[in-house]
Chains A and B, each alone.
Chain A
């Protein structure tokens, strides 16, 4: 009998969360870490199996009446997202090792919720059945809601509710489309089916396809926060713990861009090309607005949230220009952004835990007191502005290149975002790290990075560097998905001008 690797991969953290229902008290962190590491190892096994050419797909009927299956499958994009998830969770657990938690919300609950979230996210990225995807997509809200609402700043309950309402609004609109798919698939196939494999064969009437696509897209643009439905994100990151923010921005929000490629483009190719101009406009607005708002932020956590809004703009731009370079760049960007934001949030978390404040004016000259932390902060920041040599550069470059080959002026506007990125990162570094070190600030920064903190930031930065120098590791996985997606929407890469072919 073959081992259902994908199901096992998703179930392990769930089992871990279940074990944490027992009163393990002080051992909770170790139990959580153990399960997250087992998941990481399993993730590596799955990766090697996939790269070895083993087809990774599982399919068991669940509710035949709805045409719903317990169907999981792995493609290049799903693989990258799963790798991102299993890699970040141990880092987050280690980063939040000292979390004390307010009231009765003991650290044990935090660890259990993180594992639950990991399990649900993995299943979301693996689901190849639309209803199954929808169920997990919605289910991720529950642990994230409690993670934001249970741990963090004083306004966290409000922030959690705002997060939940935005996400639920998007999710319920998507539900209308999911119901619609049931009806149209039954009409087209003679029986309802939610399997992606079945649904891509259904050709929808133009207007039906467009309406259904809009339902999906609304959910995804709330998730991958795009202006104007991004406002929940800064509020959430400001109040949540940095670890929670990593999971939220690094992993959960990727479901948005992931879903655009897999569902919007996959199920509704015609509608996706129809909506593309709108999405490109939204992406440009997000890029610029996010960058400008980041420059204007005086709170470090809000600032990082706004940089993410800008970065998600780039990802969406890469998707909706329908070029192989842009699409694979976007997929790669999703991976890189996960690690890059994780580094930023976690290092900033270390700074905040020392200073007791996230306000930029409360810092200044910090690099003199804690040079190692400042160095980590600088590298994390530079990956946020896509410095060459770091992985983010490759993906941002690809998105720009793809966009340029399609519509140069759009790329020109997007390039402004790159410039602004340098401004917000360097300004942030300058205001917090350089300048005179006042006594009041110095009093808080007595210890430089501890061994644990180095183990948190080190691996993440190592990955960023590795992928920066050897991007082919991830790009070779992302490219087939990108090629398939671009040809599925009926687009072809623009022919390069004479003398530039064979890049």
Chain B
């Protein structure tokens, strides 16, 4: 009997490996480098790791590398390239916000001693000594590794392992807030328990689908769907259960309940990281699973996802309307954006010469526009402060636009992009998503989405109106931040406008690279 040695394409997988190596080095730094130098070494290591990974990705792209890698476990195709690039860009920007220390007296936004009981002498001692948890950087890098594998995973087993690698560090990060620690810890626990539950659903669904197809490989599942050997009961049940696990990570209704609490409780930089990168990874993995493995069965999952999309948009927007806390508002807005993205997933459209609308390209573009606006919005959130820390009540933001016109203008641009007002990236994103759904025969879903957009516009405009027209709130000021916060804000705002006016190049690139390797 001849057993072939497993292959591992180091070159092709170098970007992921680089991030993983940087994360492991981070752990060593934590053990070996004196406390005084730890923060700076971690920061440099992290940024360097991401930049090098990005460089390797570009080299691979230019060399035309791709294909099914690591014994067909990972698929390096157009969508993977784009998702990796997006994860690295947004990861880099998030890590910069992670590292901001000039807003809070020279310490980071993370707890001085996450392990000590809130209010205990241990915590006070760590605070007094100005300790910082620099482990957040390797943790985020581990999570980033998981995300990169998750979006490219070509079999269910890899997908599940990646899902866990991605999630576990996030559970920890969520609980590390320096301020409002109890809230943060509650968020972490909630996220962990619900996340584990959803993983269990995912795992169970995987098992059933394995039972149906006899393989974890997406291509084998596809073959089994097209020529089923048994009845499809196992397939449907497995599909539904896996959908629960995936939709939970996306934050779609009715699996969205963790989103507001976790987003609000987590340190704001972590919230930004989760809102962008986690969502991006989960969406792209979902798209790959449904399009590649279950593409032939789309008649049965399209109505299911259409229902979820409608619920997600409507519930997300309606609950956002009632929020008085801006971080919570952004959380519900993130839920509603998941709904808009699902509209394109439901469309399941492939670009042709006559119809350039493509579901995958429109989703990627939407995620890019949403990501740039989100990173900048959360970065601004960290800057608006009073004596007790970040100001989250919308009433506290009243009059901010008049006090600080530049910040007001930038935040307005971001809100307009969220709302999908023309000449912002958000508009083009919505437009593409709607076109993809319409093209896929879901015109009615477009109408629902349009109505939801209207309500969403009200939500965002309410904040803008308060910032410019209401009387100035007392004691709230914009703290002077360093470039680590200002650069992500600038990049996010400029990209939001640029993508709205010149979406062509990026969209063409995304459309050209929108085909999954099967």
Question: A-side interface residues toward B, CB under 8 Å?
Answer: 63-65, 104, 134-135, 138-139, 149, 157, 161, 164-165, 168-169, 172-173, 175-176, 179-180, 182-183, 186-187, 190-192, 211
B443 touches A168 (CB 8 A): no
Residues of A with C-beta under 8 A to B508: 65
A187 touches B454 (CB 8 A): no
Q: Are A176 and B354 in contact (CB under 8 A)?
A: no
Contact A183 B458 (CB under 8 A): no
Taking a contact as CB atoms under 8 Å apart, the answer to whether A169 and B465 are in contact is no
Q: Is the CB of A175 within 8 A of B435?
A: no
Majority SS of interface residues in chain A?
A: helix
- The reply to whether the CB of B300 lies closer than 8 angstroms to some CB of chain A is no
Q: Cβ of A176 and Cβ of B446 under 8 Å apart?
A: yes
| Chain A neighbourhood of B502, CB < 8 A | 63
Which of B434, B458, B465, B503 contacts A175, CB < 8 Å? B434
Which residues of the partner chain A approach B454 to less than 8 Å between Cβ atoms? 165, 168-169, 172
- In the bound complex, do residue A186 and residue B354 qualify as a contact, i.e. CB atoms below 8 Å apart? yes
Give the 7 A-B CB pairs with smallest separation, nearest first.
Answer: A179-B434, A135-B422, A176-B450, A172-B450, A172-B454, A186-B355, A183-B438
Contact of B469 among A157, A165, A180 (CB under 8 A): A157
Tell whether B417 is near chain A: CB-to-CB under 8 Å. no
- The residue in A64, A134, A164, A172 that gathers the most chain B C-beta atoms within 10 A of its C-beta is A172
Asked whether B42 is an interface residue with its Cβ less than 8 Å from the other chain, the reply is no
Offer 13 A-B interface pairs, CB within 8 angstroms, sorted by A. A63-B504, A64-B504, A138-B422, A149-B465, A157-B465, A157-B469, A161-B461, A179-B431, A179-B446, A180-B438, A180-B446, A183-B355, A183-B435
Contact B435 A139 (CB under 8 A): no
CB distance from A460 to the nearest CB of B (A): 32
A191:B504 contact, CB within 8 angstroms: no
Residues of B within 8 A of A134 (CB): 422
B 465-482 to A, binary, CB cutoff 8 A, 1 in contact else 0: 100010000000000000
Question: B423 interface residue, CB < 8 Å from A?
Answer: yes
Q: Does B357 contact A (CB under 8 A)?
A: yes
Please provide the chain B residues from 354 to 376 with a CB less than 8 Å away from any CB of chain A in the complex. 354-357
> Closest residue to A157 on the B side, CB-wise?
B469
Q: Which residues of A lie under 8 Å from residue B446 when comparing CB positions? A: 176, 179-180
A137 vs B402: C-alpha distance in the bound complex, in angstroms?
Answer: 27
A182 surroundings in chain B (CB, below 8 A): 357, 435
With contacts A157-B465, A186-B354, A186-B355 taken as known, whether A175 is within 8 angstroms of B504 at the C-beta atoms is no
Q: Which of A104, A180, A190 has the most CB of B within 10 A?
A: A180
**Nearest CB on A from B86, distance (A):** 20
Answer whether residue B2 sits at the interface, using C-beta atoms and an 8 A cutoff: no
Q: Are B457 and A191 in contact (CB under 8 A)?
A: no
Asked if B431 contacts A149 (CB within 8 A), the reply is no
Known: A161-B461, A183-B438. 13 other contacts (CB 8 A): A63-B503, A63-B504, A65-B356, A65-B504, A157-B465, A172-B450, A175-B431, A176-B443, A179-B431, A179-B434, A180-B446, A183-B357, A191-B353
- Bound Cα distance A165, B503 (Å): 27
Least Cβ–Cβ distance between B402 and chain A, in angstroms: 6
A149 touches B469 (CB 8 A): yes
A161 cross-chain contacts in B, Cβ below 8 A: 461, 465
Residue interface bits B275-302, CB-to-A below 8 A is 1, else 0: 0000000000000000000000000000
The answer for the CA separation of A157 and B446 in the assembled complex, in Å, is 31
Of the residues B402, B447, B461, B465, contact of A104 by C-beta under 8 Å: B402
A161–B457 Cα distance when bound, in Å, is 11
Interface contact B357-A164, CB-CB below 8 Å: no
CB distance from A237 to the nearest CB of B (A): 20
Q: Which of A63, A165, A176 has the most CB of B within 10 A?
A: A176
State the Cβ distance, B239 to closest chain A Cβ, in Å: 29
Cβ contact within 8 Å between B451 and A190:
no
Interface secondary structure of B, over-half rule:
helix
Q: Out of B356, B447, B458, which one reaches A192, CB within 8 Å? A: B356
Give Cα A187 to B439, complex, Å.
10
- Say yes or no: A180 contacts B465, CB within 8 Å: no
| Set of chain A residues within 8 Å of B439, measured between Cβ atoms | 183
Chain B residues near A172 (CB-CB < 8 A):
450-451, 453-454, 457
A138 pairs with B458, CB closer than 8 A = no
Q: Please report the C-alpha to C-alpha distance between residue A319 and residue B39 in the assembled complex, in whole angstroms.
A: 71
Residues in A with CB closer than 8 Å to B447 are 173, 176
- B355 near A187 with CB under 8 A, answer yes
C-alpha gap A176/B434 in the complex (Å)? 8
CB distance from A6 to the nearest CB of B (A): 20
Please name the residue on chain B nearest to A175 by beta carbon: B450
**Chain A residues closer than 8 Å to B457, beta-carbon distance:** 168, 172
CB distance from B498 to the nearest CB of A (A): 13
The verdict on B17 contacting chain A, using a C-beta distance below 8 Å, is no
Determine if B435 and A179 form an interchain contact, defined as CB atoms under 8 angstroms apart. yes
Q: B234 CB to closest chain A CB, in angstroms?
A: 37
0/1 interface trace, chain B 425-449, chain A, CB 8 Å (1 if under) = 0000001001100110001001100
Chain A CB within 8 A of B507 CB: yes
User: Contacts A164-B461, A182-B435 given: A135-B423 contact, CB under 8 Å?
Assistant: yes
In the complex, whether B421 has a CB less than 8 A from a CB of chain A is yes
User: How far does the Cβ of B210 sit from chain A's closest Cβ, in whole Å?
Assistant: 39
A161 — nearest CB in chain B belongs to which residue?
B465
**A164 contacts across to B, CB distance below 8 A:** 461
CB-contacts of B493-518 with A (<8 A) = 502-504, 507-508, 511
Closest residue of chain B to A164 (Cβ to Cβ) is: B461
Asked, given contacts A175-B450, A179-B434, A179-B446, whether A139 binds B504 with beta carbons under 8 Å apart, the answer is no
Contact A186 B356 (CB under 8 A): yes
In the complex, what's the smallest C-beta–C-beta distance from B266 to chain A, in angstroms? 33
Of A138, A139, A179, A191, the contact of B354 (CB 8 Å cutoff): A191
In the bound complex, residues from chain A placing their C-beta under 8 Å from that of B465 are 149, 157, 161
Residues of B within 8 A of A168 (CB): 454, 457
B494 to chain A, nearest CB (A): 19
A191 CA to B447 CA, complexed, in Å: 24
Smallest beta-carbon distance A74→chain B, Å = 23
CA distance A190 to B508 in the complex (A): 17
Q: How far is the CB of B394 from chain A (nearest CB, A)?
A: 15
* CA of A190 to CA of B354, assembled, Å: 5
Complex CA gap A187/B438 in Å reads 12
Chain A neighbourhood of B357, CB < 8 A: 182-183, 186
